[in-house]
Amino acid sequence: MKYTSQMVAKPYFIAAIGLFIGQILFGVIMGMQYVVGDFLFPEIPFNVARMVHTNLLIVWLLFGFMGAAYYMVPDEAETELHSPFLAKLMFWIFLVAGALTILGYLLVPYATLAEITMNDLLPTMGREFLEQPTITKIGIVIVALAFLYNIGMTILKGRKTVINLVLLIGLVGLAVFFLFSFYNPDNIVLDKMFWWFVVHLWVEGVWELILGSLLAYVLIKTTGVDREVIEKWLYVIIAMALITGLIGTGHHFFWIGTPGYWQWWGSIFSALEPIPFFMMTIFAFNMVNKRRRQHPNKPAVLWALGTAVMAFLGAGVWGFLHTLSFVNYYTHGTQITAAHGHMAFYGAYVMIVLAIISYAMPMLNGRKAANSQLSQIVEMWSFWLMTISMVFITLFLTGAGIVQVYLQRMSDAPLPFMVVQDKIELFYWLREGAGIIFLIGLIVYVASFFVGRDQPEVELPK
Amino acid sequence: MSQAFTKSMARNIFYGGSMFFFLLLLVLTFDTVKSLPQTDNRENLTEQVAKGKHVWENNNCIGCHTLMGEGAYFAPELGNAYKRMGSKEAIIAFIKFRPKNGIPGRRSMPQFNLTDDELDAVAEFLKYVSEINNQDWPPNIQG
Amino acid sequence: MLYATGFFFNIGNEKLTKVMKYPPGDLAIWIFIMAELLVFGLFFASYAVTRIDNIELFEFYQQSLDRRAALWNTLALISSSYFVVQAVLAINRARQQQAFIFMLLALLMGLVFMAIKTQEFAHHIDQGITLSTNTFYMFYLSMAFFHYLHVALGLIVLAVLANNIRKGCYSQHDYNGLESGASYWHMVDLVWIILFPLVYVM
């Protein structure tokens, strides 16, 4: 680790993992509620567990992105971070604000939370993923601006590498598009349309730039492949991401009251959205195959390759399966959606954050480049446990979705929603089983940070 | 030449392509917003409906239900609930008489303790949503 | 097919004697070209398939399109492409001044296309026709406007190429950037050559 200010990444990464654990605990609760309908009712109704699960996901990924930036940017820019103090301050503000928000969800009825946070002054609550009180959202904007300022100033005074610039564009885009969360018109169609300017343009837009730059960074560090090669491929990948993803937003405008032409524009462009993910997979495997050296940090390479594959499968393939409007007509808002959502988020964003943590944490803990043999083995076990169980979660939900679509949407005598949910119960039990294994995988992952700490790190002969 | 493509060409395509498609997105968004009055049922967007949207949001209905297919998948689609349940009264009664401690063993909906005015508003909101022209979705009455 | 066309126009080019591993110009532009052709291809296919179920509607509203203007547009784009090819050949023969003139002519013919097309669109807008008017107009306006934007971008590219020629950026032995831009323009031309008969005539 060349610059001492990179150390500010450590609390961010630790918070990220802590919140990840919280996310999965509530995920397991929700999975239970799917099959034992009144589990923890009325103390924790399903919608509360859900908003805790999804909000924790988003916040821990943001902690991960910020930690990644604080680690990567000084290294790439070849200069110390502009203000480590500001980074530490923002860490605590974000963490406390986040914790208070989650406690708010859990401790009081949502309508009460809206009242005590004065939501009526500027109502932004009550939309999916944007359940945060308006004051929390304002806090997020402040934290984001401070973060962008810190990172921006660092890049300005140092080397402006392609990786840094792409990361910065992605992060600026993240902040700018989040502003749409403040737009909440009375017109539900307008509300829904611009809600997607946050969600789609995040996860199928600027977040892909963040993903690409983090992946490129880990690949440069672990393979030793020439920076020029990696950076030019990064440009091509993110170009394809925006060229397909911007108009691809239209695949969310099929059934919400917007004009019918989106069925064509949205289907055609979003059908091509797998292309950048396909390229990322080829890119990652190619770079590793062409590597000039063996890096002692095996898990980091494993996470990097894994993220490309799982992102392609979850976001690319599963996304494609239900993106064409004549398919989506039947699958919209079903377990097919949930299946795609889980694998896509895990593959594209969870795994890349875990990859960067895997790469950086040993050095943040004082190692030269990697952890001990034991720690690496445990970490790689956690990779397989989490990844394989996620595949099964997705498969079970896909099965549930296919039966649901047939019985509720396609059959000659369509059955009511609750009746269908009863009939697909077996899939939900299986999903919960896979979810428990995922949780075990996560526990193993956390364990990997604690085992083998006194053992020497893996060093490969020159 | 020693390489098939250059970093500067890739960079130019990224910046040029992104700006091109961002502009196109703006153009299509502008056209969409202009065309919305034809489909969004705004002539029935009364104050009561707007109030109903607030009730919907403040109680996080989207946390269990879908509305026009978007939301959570724990409970039924409500975009066509007005058509499925037949009347505002049916909707109001359903919400009003949810048992506080749920129904043993079944997925349970909280008792939100809404006032009569809030109940009327959210029912009005759901009626309004059911009349939006959203390209004939969902495929049938079950949502 | 495009590669073959480019290859054909390379007659007299020394490269004819070498085995070409990559198409002319930067490979990155070809990835972009392929993606664009994919999008247009999907639009064309969607149009063709939709037409089958809506023959009367499509044939009726097709009559409202200005076929004569489209014909002039076709001639404008084809001659523009011809001038671009001549510009590339000129650079290959180290005739910088000639290349510059040809590129300006290409630009001019492109502007002719834009002028005619703009007039067509203005006419439709005057009549209150939008993307939501009916399925035929949705396809026609989508494809024509999407192509129109590509012509606009292409004109910017041609202008940059012309300026680069004037600055002496390309030599007889290195004109990769020129061929990249030229390839993009040829794609724009190719798309129109399919669009015109498909939507205006058939």
Number of structural domains (chain C) is 1
Interface test with B, best of C18, C27, C137, C147 (most B CBs within 10 A): C27
Q: Same domain for B83 and B17?
A: no
Domains in chain B, number:
2
Average the pLDDT over each of A290-299, A385-394, B110-119 and give the range with the smallest value.
A290-299
Q: Tell me the pLDDT band of B3, cut-offs 50, 70 and 90.
A: low
Confidence grade of residue A113 (pLDDT, cut at 50, 70, 90):
very high
The answer on pLDDT for B106 being more than 90 is yes
Closest Cα of chain B to A355: distance in Å?
25
Close Cβ partners of A128 (under 8 Å, ≥ 6 residues apart): A54, A195, B62, B63, B70, B71, B72
SS3 assignment, position A57: helix
The shortest C-alpha distance from A235 to chain C (Å) reads 10
Nearest residue of A to residue C143 by CA position?
Answer: A265
Give residues 73 to 132 of C whose Cβ lies within 8 Å of B.
130-132
**What residues of C are in the A interface, CB distance below 8 Å?**
28, 31-32, 35, 38-39, 42-43, 46, 131-132, 138-139, 142
Contact assessment for residue A381 and residue A405, using Cβ atoms and an 8 Å cutoff: no
> What is the interface pTM, i.e. ipTM, of the complex?
0.97
CA atoms within 13 A on the CB side of A159: 11
Reduced to 3 states (helix: H, G, I; strand: E, B; else coil), residue A243 is: helix
Given B5, B21, B128, which is nearest A247 (Cβ)?
B21
In this structure, the answer to whether residues B12 and B67 fall within a common structural domain is no
Kindly indicate the confidence band of residue A292, based on its pLDDT and cuts at 50, 70 and 90.
confident
Tokens standing for A447?
């364990």
Rounded to the nearest 10°, the torsion over CA C70, C71, C76, C81 is: 100
Domain shared by B90 and B27, yes or no:
no
Closest Cβ–Cβ partner in C31, C32, C130 for B31? C130
CATH value at residue C155: 1.20.120.80
Q: Is the Cβ pair C35, A240 closer than 8 Å?
A: yes
A–B CB contacts, 8 A cutoff, strictly below: 228
Judging contacts by C-beta atoms under 8 Å, the chain C residues touching residue B16 are 153
Q: pLDDT band at residue C23, thresholds of 50, 70 and 90?
A: confident
What is the DSSP annotation of chain C?
Answer: -HHHHHHHTTTT-GGGGSPPSS-SS-HHHHHHHHHHHHHHHHHHHHHHHHHHHTHHHHHHHHTTS-HHHHHHHHHHHHHHHHHHHHHHHHHHTT-HHHHHHHHHHHHHHHHHHHHHHHHHHHHHHHTT--TTS-HHHHHHHHHHHHHHHHHHHHHHHHHHHHHHHHTT---SS--HHHHHHHHHHHHHHHHHHHHIIIIII-
Contact B63 A119 (CB under 8 A): no
B103/C191 Cα distance (integer angstroms): 62
C chain contacts of residue A235, beta-carbon cutoff 8 Å: 28
Domain residue extents for chain A: 1-160, 333-462
Q: Which of C32, C132, C149 sits opposite B13 (nearest CB)?
A: C32
Q: How many CB pairs under 8 A join A and C?
A: 34
Q: Using omega within 30 degrees of 0 as the cis cutoff, is the peptide bond preceding A42 cis?
A: yes
CATH classification of the domain holding B134: 1.10.760.10
Q: Is the pLDDT of residue C21 over 80?
A: no
Task: Give me the domain span that covers residue B34.
Answer: 1-38
Compare CB distances from C131 to A244, A259, A268 and report the shortest one's residue: A259
| Structure token pair of residue C8 | 């054909």
Residue C68's domain comprises 2-201
At residue A261 the predicted structure's pLDDT band, cuts being 50, 70 and 90, is very high
Q: What is the CATH code of the structural domain delimited by A1-160?
A: 1.20.120
Q: Give C8's pLDDT tier (boundaries 50, 70, 90).
A: very low
DSSP A321: H
Chain A neighbors of C132, CB-CB under 8 A: 259-261
pLDDT digit string, tens, across residues B16-35: 999 999 999 999 999 999 99
Answer whether A178's CB lies under 8 Å from A144's CB.
yes
Q: Model-level pTM greater than 0.90?
A: yes
Q: Which chains touch A (3 or more CB pairs under 8 A)?
A: B, C
- Residues B117, B59, single domain; the answer is yes
How long, in residues, is chain C? 202
Q: Over chain A, what is the mean pLDDT?
A: 97
- Specify whether B34 is located in the same domain as B62: no
Nearest to C149 among B1, B6, B20 (CB): B20
- The string of DSSP codes covering chain B is ---SS-HHHHHHHHHHHHHHHHHHHHHHHHHHHHHGGGTS-GGG--HHHHHHHHHHHHTTGGGT-EETTEE-SSS-B-TTHHHHH-SHHHHHHHHHT--TT--TTS---------HHHHHHHHHHHHHHHTS--TT-SSSTT-
Identify all chain A residues contacting C32, using CB atoms and an 8 Å cutoff: 239, 243
